[in-house]
């Protein structure tokens, strides 16, 4: 905020540096809080970020540029509580986050990257049984002129966008079931790789110490997983695709 040395009064120009405002209106009242815009954005995307790390104090303003704090009456009338954390949380969740054009572009590109990553992992080219490259999917999105909303969850948008780009490239969602038989000497090396990638349908430790696992993975992860297991077992693992199905 600027300061007029001649009059000794605050001016109306806001200089928040790396910080920003969230503005919220309710029942004819106007509220503003000062936040770290990136943390506020990530919080809205579902990341677990403490409110203390998002806001610069819990002061709620009626007009920040004039240094006017919101009255207790206005807060009670609009939020039905005097709990400052509950009030600030509501403003963060529902208010208008003021961000620069540069930040808007960066946040939008981050959302596009999330959508592309989801489609790469969960889809294949049904003609070649191979995943599309990120560049090819993003190019198809451009050609189809798809709409990307930086506030909507990536998975929900990806499912909608999948239908739109299917007119541009051959693409479909697919789940692959793979069976692995791991020799005893290599079970320790690959056990972690088989967990957390997909859904384990079967896991059996055999009498000879070998491990038999059946796992469902998104089709886009199939090749990478199979190559990783083959590499870690020096080609001695038995690997077999037993089923393909639409997701």
Specify the pTM: 0.67
At 98 the three-state DSSP class reads: coil
Q: Do domains 18-97 and 101-172 have the same CATH topology?
A: no
Residues of the chain above pLDDT 90, percent = 70
pLDDT tens-digit series, residues 212-247: 999 999 988 998 999 999 999 999 999 999 998 876
Task: State the pLDDT at residue 208.
Answer: 94
Quote the pLDDT of residue 14: 53
How sure is the predictor about 1, in pLDDT bands with cuts at 50, 70 and 90?
very low
DSSP 19: -
Architecture of domain 174-245 in CATH? 2-Layer Sandwich (3.30)
Looking at domain 18-97, its CATH architecture is 2-Layer Sandwich (3.30)
pLDDT of residue 152: 87
* 54-71 per-position pLDDT tens digit: 998 899 999 998 999 999
128 CA to centre of own chain: 29
User: What is the assigned CATH class of domain 101-172?
Assistant: mainly alpha
Q: Is the pLDDT of residue 180 over 60?
A: yes
Q: At residue 194, does pLDDT exceed 60?
A: yes
**Both tokens assigned to 63:** 């007009």
How far apart are alpha carbons 200 and 177 in whole angstroms?
Answer: 9
Predicted local confidence at residue 103, as pLDDT: 85
Percentage, residues of the chain above pLDDT 70: 93
Is residue 222 a contact partner of residue 178, using CB atoms and an 8 Å limit?
yes
Run of H or E residues at 184: none
What are the tokens at 15? Answer: 């200089």
Domain ranges of the chain: 18-97, 101-172, 174-245
**Residue pair 94/24 in contact by the 8 Å Cβ criterion:** yes
State the Cα–Cα distance between residues 53 and 96, nearest whole angstrom: 19
- Average pLDDT (9-25) is 69
Mean pLDDT for 3-14 is 35
Q: pLDDT tens for residues 135-179?
A: 999 999 999 999 999 888 899 999 999 999 999 999 999 999 999
13: confidence class by pLDDT, cuts 50, 70, 90: very low
Q: ∠ CA(101), CA(102), CA(105), 5° rounding?
A: 85
Inform me whether the pLDDT recorded for 5 exceeds 70.
no
Q: Does residue 25 carry a pLDDT above 90? A: yes
């Amino acid at each position: 905020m600027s300061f007029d040395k001649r009059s000794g009064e605050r001016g109306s120009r806001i200089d928040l540096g790396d910080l920003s405002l969230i503005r919220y209106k309710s029942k004819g009242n106007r509220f503003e809080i000062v936040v770290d815009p990136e943390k506020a954005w990530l919080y809205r995307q579902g990341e677990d970020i403490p409110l203390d790390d998002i806001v610069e104090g819990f002061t709620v303003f009626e007009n920040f540029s004039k240094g006017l704090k919101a009255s207790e009456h206005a807060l009670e009338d609009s939020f039905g509580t005097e709990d400052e954390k509950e009030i600030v949380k509501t403003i963060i969740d529902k208010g208008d986050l003021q961000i620069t054009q540069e930040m808007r572009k960066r946040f939008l590109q981050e959302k596009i990257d999330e959508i592309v990553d989801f489609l790469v992992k969960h889809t294949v080219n049904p003609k070649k049984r191979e995943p599309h490259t990120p560049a090819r999917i993003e190019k198809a999105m451009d050609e189809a002129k798809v709409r990307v909303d930086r506030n909507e969850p990536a998975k929900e948008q990806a499912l909608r966008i999948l239908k739109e780009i299917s007119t541009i490239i051959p693409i479909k969602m697919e789940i692959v079931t793979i069976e692995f038989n791991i020799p005893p000497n290599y079970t320790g090396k690959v056990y972690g790789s088989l967990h957390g990638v997909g859904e384990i349908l079967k896991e059996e430790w055999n009498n000879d110490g070998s491990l038999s696992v059946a796992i469902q993975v998104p089709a886009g992860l199939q090749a990478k997983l199979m190559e990783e297991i083959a590499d870690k077992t020096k080609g001695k693992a038995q690997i077999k695709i037993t089923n393909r199905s639409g997701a």
